[in-house]
Structure 1
């Protein structure tokens, strides 16, 4: 029996030692895995910031190239407006202006914005045109000045001007690149 008791005692010590050894090995493996995971996370996080900076720089360069290509190869977008007929400020009796406009837009997506604001745009154009004299509009420079005024008026309806810190109005660029006269009659 003594012999039987001895092996049983050795068998009990072996599982205790192996359990302790197993716990120590698992703890070391867990620490190594956590340290490796933390290191990998930090490296990937730093890599993401570097990649984000590189991607942002590449996107800026690509967008500039696209804008240049777009300007060079994109077909212009034109929107035709209905004719305007207004009374001019009288100089030598009643005078009328009948004008048909086409608007050149910088991009096609601006057309729905323009159409959504059309009643207000037509109102502002009518008010601007009716405040002119025939003598102002007859020379080429008068027509060019009118086209610029119309462009600014339309752009201010779509993107209202903002005030800077000094209280001065800053006119937005707006989607309208130019105003073109397709018909211009003064009677």
Structure 2
């Protein structure tokens, strides 16, 4: 019986060694798979962003203005409210004043920063344009629509000045809206 007891003890000693080895092998395999999966995910995610940035850069250099406008047609509109303008109009039958409050619709968020950084120049150009108008030009609906288009062109040329000898093209301002329009 003594001989039988020794093999049982040896078998019991071998079982914990085998289970420790098996546990180490399984944990090593899981660790290797996790690292490989994490590395693959990192490469795929960072690689696609770099390619997207390269593609976006290539599109921007090829068609800088049109590409931006077509990128996010479903994006919410961006409006910037300006302080009220009060100007003298060109006299027709006495002194007349125009008080107008404008909201500017922009095509991208970056244009908001450009607009705010150039606000003194933009306000000056708008004041000069408004004070050059007659009340009779601004009273009909068509006059207000023409003024909105002129203001849009003026603001766009202040943000992105055209080169010498070239006509101003479309800029970041999509539209100019009147939130208040009073002639006295």
What is the match of residue 100 of structure 1? Answer: 101
2:72 is matched with 70
| CA–CA separation in structure 1 for the residues paired with 2:144 and 2:93 | 20
Aligned to 1:177: 174
Normalising by structure 1, report the TM-score: 0.61
Structure 2 residue runs without a partner (length 5+)? 1-50
Q: Which has the larger radius of gyration?
A: 1
Aligned-pair distance for 1:103? 0.2
- Cα–Cα, structure 1 residues 170 and 65, in superposed 2: closer, same or farther, change >3 Å? closer
Cα distance in structure 1, aligned partners of 2:68 and 2:158: 28
Alpha-carbon distance between aligned partners in 1 of 2:158 and 2:100, rounded to the nearest angstrom: 20
Q: Is the 8 A contact 1:95 1:186 kept in 2?
A: yes
Q: CA RMSD in A?
A: 2.5
Runs of 4+ in 1 over 4 A off after TM superposition: 63-69
Deviation at 1:169, TM superposition (A): 2.4
Deviation at 1:66, TM superposition (A): 8.6
Alignment check: 8 A CA contact 2:69 2:107 kept: no
Q: How high is the TM-score relative to the length of structure 2?
A: 0.62
Q: 1: CA distance between counterparts of 2:122 and 2:70?
A: 30
The verdict on how the C-alpha distance between 1:69 and 1:127 changes in structure 2, with shifts beyond 3 A counting, is closer
| Residue segments in structure 1 that go unaligned for 5+ positions in a row | 1-51
